[in-house]
Amino acid sequence: MASEREYFDLSGPLHLSNVDWKNVDHRRSVAASLVQGVYILERDRQEKRQGPQALAPPWWEFFDFQLCRQLVDDADFSIFGAIYEFKPAASNCKDLTNGNPHYIIAFRGTITKGNAFSRDVELDLHFIRNGLHQTSRFEIAIQAVRNMVATYGNLNIWLAGHSLGSAMAMLAGKTMAKTGAFLEAFLFNPPFVSAPIERIKNVKVKHGIRIASSVITAGFAFAMKVKQQNNQQQNNRSVDTFVALSAWTPGLFVHPDDHICSEYIGYFEHRKKMEEIGAGTIERLATQHSIGGLFMNAIGKESEEALHLLPSANLTLNLTPAEFFEAHGIHQWWKPDLQLKSMLYKYR
């Protein structure tokens, strides 16, 4: 049985009958709605809702988008993503100077109902182990992104995702950015795997833990560079890649009451505070590495860089108080009159 949130006319942003593509709130709301469209596509598949019974189409048709392609997992045949094309009426011709995209590639997060749940949890575990890049679902996703960029160019394409789908979009965005293709990205509630330091209420204790962690991480990274002379060239490439990524500024949308993504707040704020106390050099080295990745390299095992390591981002916080399930939900991001705070962080 369909829930109320699956019906666009009950829970969708009906106030956006005229989208202003230069308005950041409108852009965020449309991107979130198209991610919701992917969720409902999969629920339609599970419930065998087709034709007039399908509930997904209003989530993109309301904004003049058409569904070009569904992205289907090869393991369980669930729909995890979609490619949408902006197709306004002839009286409202496409105009890239208007700020609208030509295409949006969107990815859903974990679905807790139906037969997609076990596969989604498997992907969640791959993410926690920093192995999302090795999954067949990501291979399908990145091939779709590469093909779209090769055909239409990166200026015409947006990425969007929520939760696990946000991790998928972030990994795709980072992968493309390393080739010089910087895609606009809307990453809703992106997961951050670490100890929940941001949940500590005592500001001094929290800041002290972060400083200690930075010193240890930077020290470990420096020691490995000195000790492992044979890997010096590889380490330099790692640093160069991080610096090159700094030109990509994805949009991160985070709720402080969502412990799955709230650590991004401290991740970026701490970098600024370290600069203010004169420890910017330590933090610039620490922020390029994770303790887990350094440890794996130390014991001779290659480790992919942690996904949360981002040089730059436009971080938007929803400061509206909420319980966890509300704070982690995609639906919050298209609501009007939110208590939002945005900060631009650029790596130097």
For 300-343, what is each residue's pLDDT tens digit? 445 466 788 899 999 999 999 899 889 999 999 999 989 999 99
Q: Answer yes or no: is 232 within a domain.
A: no
Q: Which amino acid is at 75?
A: A
Q: Answer yes or no: is 291 within a domain.
A: no
At residue 64, does pLDDT exceed 80? yes
Predicted TM-score (pTM) of the model is 0.84
Q: Answer yes or no: is 31 within a domain.
A: yes
Q: Answer yes or no: is 73 within a domain.
A: yes
Q: pLDDT: is 96 or 69 the higher one?
A: 69
At residue 147, does pLDDT exceed 80? yes
Instruction: Write down the pLDDT at residue 179.
Output: 93
Tens digit of each residue's pLDDT (9 = 90 or more) over 12-60? 999 999 999 999 999 999 999 999 999 999 999 999 999 999 999 999 9
Instruction: Write down the pLDDT at residue 151.
Output: 96
Alpha carbon distance 72, 282 (integer Å): 43
Least confident of 102-106, 149-153, 268-272: 268-272
pLDDT band at 189 (very low <50, low <70, confident <90, very high): very high
Alpha carbon distance 126, 124 (integer Å): 5
Instruction: Write down the pLDDT at residue 239.
Output: 54
Q: Answer yes or no: is 215 within a domain.
A: no
Q: Answer yes or no: is 219 within a domain.
A: no
Q: Answer yes or no: is 55 within a domain.
A: yes
What domain count does the chain have?
A: 1
* Residue 213, C-beta contacts closer than 8 angstroms, at least 6 positions apart: 197, 286, 291
Q: Answer yes or no: is 84 within a domain.
A: yes
Reduced to 3 states (helix: H, G, I; strand: E, B; else coil), residue 174 is: helix
Domain residue limits at 136: 4-188
